[in-house]
């Protein structure tokens, strides 16, 4: 029975993406830029929490890293098309995404926050204050901020933008009342633009999202390696140390382009 089930035409082992990466000697990483996950420094080089994670992962695999910047709205299709091996880009684990890709265990947690216009939407302190048809919320296309805004502020008018810089500009120029984005982007922007922006929720997030690596379905060896790498990095405190540097300080800001 076993011989019949296996069949002579079915290989006992097919090369997975882990083997391909090791043979190629390069880990190709898909990501999009948003502060402080991934951004460019004054020399035009990428830096940020996810950049540190990708470089460390590649180092521990004994390969080099190739960064493949990709618009967030098309990043999963690009992964499935083989443009890169893995998404390391602050991607929240959701059931809808998990139908298309495999996720590692969480290596970090994020949450949604709001930064608002002091002139256009002053003195608002609750999510309910933004849940009105007159309120315009700027969000990044394809990001989990879209679903969060639709769930918690369904009456608001959403405007979608390809990147967070464009969404923020809508608030700064008075064309949107507020922006919904993953922390700490709203907190950093409120600190930089104290005269024009404020944090309605006193810097608190209103969701908690697990963040994981996304890889194509079917390669369990690669997923096993990633899960165990996360376990080791957490045990050593490396992930927490890098997260604290990028999310709880602005020591890196002078390097920002």
Residues 194 and 121 in one domain: yes
With residue 26 as reference, give the H or E element that holds it.
strand 26-31
Instruction: Go through the chain and tell me how many residues it has.
Output: 257
Task: Say if residue 7's pLDDT is above 50.
Answer: no
pLDDT number for residue 179? 98
pLDDT at 10 over 60: no
Q: What is the DSSP letter of 72?
A: G
Lowest mean pLDDT among 103-117, 168-182, 195-209: 195-209
SS (H, E, C) 91-144: CECCHHHHCCCEECCCCEEECEEEEEECCCCCCCCCHHHHCCCCCEEEEECCCH
For residue 114, pLDDT over 90 is answered with: yes
CB-based contacts of 147-154 (< 8 A; 24+ apart in sequence): 147/94, 148/112, 148/180, 148/206, 148/207, 149/112, 149/180, 152/127, 152/206, 153/127, 153/180
Count the Cβ atoms, other than its own, within 10 Å of residue 105. 15
Q: Clarify whether residues 123 and 193 are in a common domain.
A: yes
> Is the domain of 126 the same as that of 55?
no
Mean pLDDT over all residues of the chain?
Answer: 91
Q: Give the whole-number percent of the chain exceeding pLDDT 90.
A: 77
Both 76 and 193 in one domain: the answer is no
- Asked, for residue 138, whether it belongs to a domain, the answer is yes
Does any domain span residue 3? no
Residue 238 domain-assigned (yes or no): yes
Does residue 13 sit within a domain?
no
The whole model's pTM is what? 0.73
Q: Is the same domain home to 40 and 159?
A: no
* 253 alpha-carbon distance from chain centroid: 19
pLDDT tens digits for 76-89?
999 999 999 999 99
**Across 11-16, average pLDDT:** 44
Q: Answer yes or no: is pLDDT of 13 > 50.
A: no
Statement to judge: residues 28 and 142 lie in one domain: no
In a 3-state reduction of DSSP, which class is residue 14?
Answer: coil
pLDDT reading at 65 higher than 70: yes
- What does the pLDDT read at residue 11? 34
In this predicted structure, the answer to whether residue 1 has a pLDDT above a threshold of 80 is no
Q: How many domains does the chain have?
A: 2
Backbone phi, psi, residue 31, to 5°: -165, 165
Residue 142: predicted pLDDT = 87
Where residue 198 falls among pLDDT bands split at 50, 70, 90?
A: very high
Task: Kindly tell me if the per-residue pLDDT of 148 is higher than 70.
Answer: yes
Tell me what the mean pLDDT of segment 44-61 comes to.
97
Q: Are residues 165 and 224 in the same domain?
A: no
Give domain status of residue 4, yes or no. no
Residue whose pair of structure tokens reads 């390696």 in the numeric block? 225
Q: What's residue 15's pLDDT?
A: 52
Q: How confident is the model at residue 174 (pLDDT cuts 50, 70, 90)?
A: very high
**Residue 11 included in any domain:** no
Rounded Cα gap, residues 4 and 97, in angstroms: 36
251 in the same domain as 138: no
98 and 216 fall within a common domain? yes
CATH of the domain at 158: 3.40.190.10
Q: For residue 162, what are the domain limits?
A: 112-198
- What mean pLDDT comes out for the span 58-66? 98
246: in domain:
yes
Judge whether residue 2 has pLDDT over 70.
no
Higher-confidence residue of 93 and 10: namely 93
Indicate if the pLDDT at residue 33 is higher than 70: yes
Is 17 domain-assigned?
no
Separation CA 147–CA 123 (nearest Å): 25
Q: Cα–Cα distance between 41 and 256 in angstroms, integer?
A: 4
Higher-confidence position of 55 and 203: 55
Average of pLDDT values for 27-32?
97
Q: Identify whether residues 36 and 64 lie together within a single domain.
A: yes
Whose CA is closest to 102, among 82, 90, 87, 89? 87
162 shares a domain with 146: yes
pLDDT value of position 9? 37
32: nearest Cα among 115, 90, 93, 102: 90
Together in a domain, 218 and 104: yes
């Amino acid at each position: 029975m076993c011989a019949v089930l296996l069949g002579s035409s079915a290989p006992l082992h097919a090369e997975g993406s882990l083997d391909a990466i090791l043979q190629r000697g390069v880990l190709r990483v898909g990501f999009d830029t948003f502060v402080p996950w991934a951004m460019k420094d004054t020399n035009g080089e990428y830096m940020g929490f996810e950049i540190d994670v990708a470089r460390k992962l590649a180092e521990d695999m004994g390969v080099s890293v190739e960064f493949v910047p990709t618009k967030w709205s098309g990043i999963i299709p690009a992964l499935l098309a083989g443009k890169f091996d893995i998404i390391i880009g602050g991607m929240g684990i959701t059931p809808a995404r998990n139908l298309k890709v495999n996720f590692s265990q969480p290596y970090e947690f994020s949450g949604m926050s709001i930064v608002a216009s002091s002139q256009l939407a002053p003195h608002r302190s609750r999510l309910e204050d933004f849940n009105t048809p007159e309120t315009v919320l700027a969000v990044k296309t394809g990001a989990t901020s879209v679903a969060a805004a639709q769930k918690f502020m369904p009456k608001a008018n959403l405007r979608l933008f390809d990147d967070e810089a464009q969404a923020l500009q809508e608030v700064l120029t008075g064309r949107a009342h507020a922006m919904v984005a993953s922390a700490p982007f709203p907190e950093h922007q409120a600190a930089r633009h104290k005269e024009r922006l404020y944090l309605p929720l006193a810097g608190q997030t209103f969701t908690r999202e697990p963040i994981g690596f996304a890889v194509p379905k079917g390669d369990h060896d690669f997923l096993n390696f990633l899960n165990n790498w996360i376990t080791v990095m957490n045990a050593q405190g490396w992930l927490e140390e890098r997260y604290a540097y990028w999310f709880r300080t602005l020591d890196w800001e002078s390097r920002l382009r």
